[in-house]
Amino acid sequence: MPPPALSRPLPPHPLRAGTALAGLTACLFAALPVRAQGPSLAVEDTMTTEVPEVLVRAPRVTLDEILDRVARGEARRDSLLKDQSFTATLRIMRNTAGKGTPELLAESVHKVYKKKPDLIRTVRLRVYEKYPEKDGDGMAEADFSPGMGERIVNFALQPENRRNYRFTIEDRKLLGDHLIYTLRFEPRSSLAVSEPSGRLWVDTREFVIVRQEIEFRQSPVPLFLKSIKRMVVERTRTGDFWVLSRALVRMELTIPMPRIGKTFDFGMSFTDYTINTSLPDSLFESTDRPDRANRVRVGSGKRSGS
Amino acid sequence: MPWRTAGDSAVTDSSRATARDSSRAPADSSFDSYMHGLSDSTDTWFGATATPLDTTGLDSALAAALALPPGKQLRRTDKGFPIEFTPAPGYNRADGAQLGVGASMSRGIPGRISGRAQYTTGTKDVIGDASWDGAFRLRKSRTRLALRAAVGRWTEVADRDSYDPVVTTMASLVFGGDLHQYLRRDGWRASARWDRDRVWAALAWRDQLESSLPFTTDWALFGSQELDTNFTAAYGRVHELGITGELPVPGTRFRVQAGHWTSAPKWGSAFDYNRTLVAAGGDLSLGKHFAFVPQASYGRLHGEVLPQNPFFFGGAPNVRQLDRNEWSSAGRTFGRADLMLVDDLHELLHLPLPAWMPLHVSAFVASGAAWGRDPVTNQARPTKRDWPNSSEWLSETGLTLAWRTGIPDPTSSLRFEYTEPLGATGRTARYTVVYQQPLHLLRMR
């Protein structure tokens, strides 16, 4: 029921009319350009409106509940994925900070097909290297695993890791009908100064992680790596699923390395997703593939290749 | 809005205009523009690294690659010779220099086959091994199984609890600071390791002929070898079963490791012993700047006490006031607690130090005892006691300045320590340099 006081007309009052006139005059004078008194000030004219208040009596969801639901949301997301394909781009840029112009050092593009339980086919589409090597893997050579769990996004919430991190709610945002929580995580151990900490953006509509920023208090390998300046992991929505769209990291070395320099970026982007399109098994006929632990790996599991 | 609290923030500028008229706009528009705003800021920050992919020619490349059967598109390394070779140099004061080559192959086979052959300049012998190892992830679980089998001739140290080949070799080469005792082992060994999350267990078997080695070197870059003899290992074929494992202590950041090695004549072994080692340690955070790191270990040898199976006492692995491996015993216990300032000193004190030299300070107190030991020779002998007498304890305290290098583990440091003995031991204060991690008693892998 609307408040009756607001709908009742106010009776005329002699003082109110005079005050209004004086106010109007003051406004007119204030609006006139007076060069000697400095710049004129704009008046905020944004239209405002009143809405009736709604008192919500439901208890606010706790942090533990959020973490549980995110872990379940991530597990549910993984369980619903049957197969997927995407185009993966790995890129290494040098001279990305300080003097000098950023320069592409290596880039590779692969088409990756995955199907549960452990099928994978990787098709190399393009490789560029500024300094190609005759033997050995290229700088941007990639090796993918059949897993679709995207541990790079949810590693802090994995059962074996969750107890090692302290989580806090840093922010909440109501955006349309999405409630976005920003959760901060950091290692519980103060000894773990070189382990990652950061922020997770969680969409509570599906309780999935939609973005992550990672930072390192101290370098994990200070002898060679001065700092990891910034690391961002983003997801994008494809159909009903949130999928890894890119991971970017900028690193600074203690001593300039030949061909690499002192600062470099490493970027992975994943585009052109198709999900649950019933990829045929014939696409994945198994092949003998060597174990390549030294390659960049995304996810985990058994591999076969193109 | 009554559901907004002090911790909540307003919608960002980029999405405010859309949010204002949410009755007409699609429900996701403010969310999408917020996410795009974050993504755009990432683009700006990373610049060229974040630019979209040039897709020219990718469709035709994909069509051509898919026209080939799976497995026909090879990498560069798939085309060459399938065996990779690496140099295999080494040095210790028994063998002298070890000059050799290693080879490995993993293409076309499950797991990896590797081998190594070295000529030793001191003993003028050929040592080496051939091994296979493989790791398998068990389906639909986070469990991993690693298998390994090896056959060969090895030069190994008697102290099986704490040996770092890289640091020992460097110390031996540079200033002759190698106080390990070496023996020869010929035969084979195999192991299976199961791990899941923070829990692991391993089962190992070895069938090896153990024999002694001479001392053959007297050279070091800056001086001569500190120890100019090598011990005489008991000769015999050992059949040994080893069980090791690690468990986390629930609700804490502490871990417990345990290992038991047994050898019995009924298995065809020349030796009869049971060797047990238990270690525990972890860290407690004291605010954001300090960490308290306690750790302890207990070891006990029952049965035959051989020169090559006792517990060694003294030096970097335990009490600093003794030389490395100065004593050996049938029983050993040791505990140490460090209070560490985790902040980098050069940032905290604004010291003009390079970034590759993060320094940390800590204070420690330690105490340990070795029993089942001849009081004259300080070498191990059998005992029935499972705990030391009060007179057998050695305690000490000290300060550490650590340069954290992060290799091979992020917590690995070169530690400069000042140690002051506690009690009337008659020993004096010592300066030592060691390369280790804070939880160095948890060494089983």
> How would residue B26 be classed by pLDDT, with cut points 50, 70 and 90?
low
pLDDT at A98 (0 to 100): 79
Nearest-angstrom CA–CA distance, B167 and A91: 37
Asked if B338 contacts A190 with a C-beta cutoff of 8 angstroms, the reply is: no
Nearest CA among B60, B42, B58 for reference residue B50: B42
pLDDT score recorded for residue B413: 94
Backbone angles phi, psi at B125, to 5 degrees: -130, 170
State whether B76 and A136 contact (CB < 8 Å). Answer: yes
Of B47, B197, B283, the CB nearest to A102: B47
For B260-310, the pLDDT digits (tens) are 999 999 999 999 999 999 999 999 999 889 999 999 999 999 999 999 999
Sign for the pseudo-dihedral over CA of B347, B349, B350, B354:
negative
| Minimal-distance CA residue of chain A relative to B1 | A53
What is the distance between the alpha carbons of residues B131 and A288, in angstroms, rounded to a whole number? 21
Which residues of chain A lie closer than 8 angstroms to B405, CB-CB? Answer: 221-223
The residue with tokens 């051509």 is B64
Instruction: Cite the DSSP H helix spans in A120-272.
Output: 151-154, 159-162
* Cα A35 from Cα B374, distance rounded (Å): 101
- Spatial contact of B348 and B361, defined as CB atoms under 8 Å apart: no
Q: Among B63, B76, B55, B108, which Cα is nearest to A123's?
A: B63
Q: Is the dihedral of CA A185, A190, A192, A193 positive or negative?
A: positive
Interface of B with A in 365-394 (CB under 8 A): none
Question: How high is the pLDDT of residue B12?
Answer: 36
> Using the beta-carbon criterion (under 8 Å), do A254 and B139 form an inter-chain contact?
no
What pLDDT score was predicted for residue A56?
73
- pLDDT tens, residue by residue, B350-400: 888 888 899 999 999 999 999 999 999 999 999 999 999 999 999 999 999
Residues of B in contact with A126 (CB under 8 A): 57-58, 61
Six token digits for residue A108: 């590779």
Q: Which of B52, B80, B290 sits opposite A190 (nearest CB)?
A: B290
Q: Per-residue pLDDT averaged across B213-239, rounded?
A: 89
Q: Give just the sign of the alpha carbon dihedral B67, B72, B74, B80.
A: negative
Q: Which residue has the higher pLDDT, A188 or B69?
A: A188
From first to last of its 306 residues, what are the pLDDT tens digits of chain A?
A: 344 433 344 444 444 444 444 444 444 344 444 444 556 666 666 677 788 888 877 777 889 999 999 999 998 998 999 999 999 999 999 988 877 889 999 999 999 999 988 888 889 899 998 888 766 556 767 788 888 888 899 888 887 788 889 999 999 999 888 999 999 999 998 888 888 999 999 999 889 999 999 999 889 999 999 999 999 999 999 988 999 999 999 999 998 888 888 899 999 999 999 999 999 988 886 544 433 333 344 333 333 333
* Per-residue pLDDT tens over the stretch B135-173: 988 766 778 999 999 999 999 999 999 998 888 898 888
CB contact under 8 A, A175 and B288: no
pLDDT at B95 (0 to 100): 93
Among residues B419, B413, B420, the alpha carbon closest in space to that of B440 is found at: B413
Calculate Rg over the CA atoms of chain B.
29
The CB density around residue A193, as the number of other CB atoms within 10 Å, is: 23
CA distances, B316 to each of B147, B161, B426, B440 (Å): 31, 12, 20, 9
Strands B96-105 and A196-203: unpaired
Comparing alpha-carbon positions, the chain A residue that sits nearest to B14 is A175
The DSSP code for A11 is P
Of A133, A199, A305, nearest in space to B38 by CA: A199
H or E segment and range at residue A108? strand A103-115
CB contact under 8 A, B285 and A177: no
Strands (E), B305-358: 311-313, 327-329, 331-341
Residue count (chain B): 445
Quote the CA–CA distance of A163 and A188 in Å, as a whole number: 8
Contact state of B75 with A124 under an 8 Å Cβ cutoff: yes
pLDDT at A59: 75
Question: What ipTM is given for this predicted complex?
Answer: 0.78
Which of A91, A172, A189 lies closest to B8 in CB terms? A172
B266 reaches A (C-beta below 8 A): no
Q: B368 with B334: CB under 8 angstroms?
A: yes
pLDDT computed for residue B74 by the predictor: 53
| Cα–Cα dist A17/A9, whole Å | 15
Lowest mean pLDDT among A216-220, B28-32, B312-316, B336-340: B28-32
Per-residue model confidence (pLDDT) at position B76? 53
- Backbone region of residue B47 per phi and psi (left: phi > 0; alpha: psi in -120 to 50; beta: other values): left
Distances in whole angstroms, Cα of residue B87 to Cα of each of A294, B81, B98, B104:
19, 17, 11, 12
d(CA A24, nearest CA chain B) in Å: 30
Nearest CA in chain A to B359: A222
Query: Which helix H or strand E contains B136, and what residues bound it?
Result: strand B125-137
A58, A269, B107 from A123: Cα distances, Å: 52, 16, 19
Q: Residue B303's beta-bridge partner residues?
A: B273
Determine, for residues A222 and B404 on separate chains, whether the beta-carbon distance falls below 8 Å.
Answer: yes
What was the pLDDT predicted at B283? Answer: 94
Q: Between B29-46 and B13-20, two packed helices, what is the crossing angle to 10 degrees?
A: 160
Output DSSP code: residue B380: B
